[in-house]
Amino acid sequence: MDEELGGQGRKEPRPRKQPRKVSPRYLENAALHYLKRYAATLSQLKRVLLRKVDRSLKVHGGDRAEALGWIDALTEKLIRGGLLNDEAYAGMKAHSLRASGRSSRVITQKLRMKGVTADIVAQKVADVTAELSEEEAAKIWARKKRLGPFRTNPQTRQDNRQRDLASLARAGFSFGIAKKIIDSEPG
């Protein structure tokens, strides 16, 4: 078996494929392929395409400014075509995060990390908070993590109160909401 693995006990790393020479057509195909697989914001897509450009320029050479122009033109075309929409992405992501019990603070942070503008984030967080309150989201999170009244062994509830409060605080919920959820009655 060691002979198969090069005598070292591990496989040799596969040589990296050489990147293709960047062109407007190549960038468009790469962007469409990426958007087919992932929902993305403008910022995310630009980051992905920029990595492809930088890898290609390192091997093949070329003008980075020209490639940046291609990326900007392509993203404008995708926005006009409706394939790239930060507002729709933010709404979908905020809704799914809130449904899984995430706090407004966490939703805001995750959307900002994806490159969504602050005004769109504020609007979408307000929309999902109107649908499902912060307290209801904390209850969902506590149920998922089996905290407080959702513990499988009710005898350990008081012993783990501080730990449960800290867990909800780390999840972005205020102390008041965390205390209310942890101290509530089961059921």
- Assign 3-class secondary structure to 172-187: CCCHHHHHHHHCCCCC
pLDDT for residue 154: 79
Q: Where would I find the beta strands (DSSP E) of the chain?
A: none
Contact 162, 171 (CB under 8 A): no
pLDDT for residue 94: 97
C-alpha dihedral, 179 to 91 to 96 to 89, nearest 10°: -130
| Sequence spans of domains, the chain | 24-80, 86-131, 134-182
Q: Encode 44-75: b = buried (16+ Cβ within 10 Å), e = exposed.
A: bbbebbeebbeebbeeeeeeeeebeebbeebb
Contact 102, 142 (CB under 8 A): no
pLDDT for residue 7: 54
- The model's pLDDT over 37-82, given as tens digits with 9 standing for 90+, comes to 999 999 999 999 999 999 999 999 999 999 999 999 999 999 999 9
Contacts of 97 (CB under 8 A, 6+ apart): 106, 107, 110, 128
- The model's pLDDT over 130-179, given as tens digits with 9 standing for 90+, comes to 999 999 999 999 999 999 999 888 788 889 999 999 999 999 999 999 99
pLDDT for residue 186: 78
> For residue 17, what is the DSSP state?
P
Contact 74, 103 (CB under 8 A): no
pLDDT for residue 19: 86
pLDDT for residue 8: 61
Q: CA-CA distances (angstroms) from residue 151 to 125, 142, 144, 186?
A: 29, 9, 10, 9
pLDDT for residue 81: 95
- The model's pLDDT over 8-44, given as tens digits with 9 standing for 90+, comes to 667 888 888 888 899 999 999 999 999 999 999 999 9
pLDDT for residue 18: 87
Contact 49, 31 (CB under 8 A): yes
**Amino acid, res. 27:** L
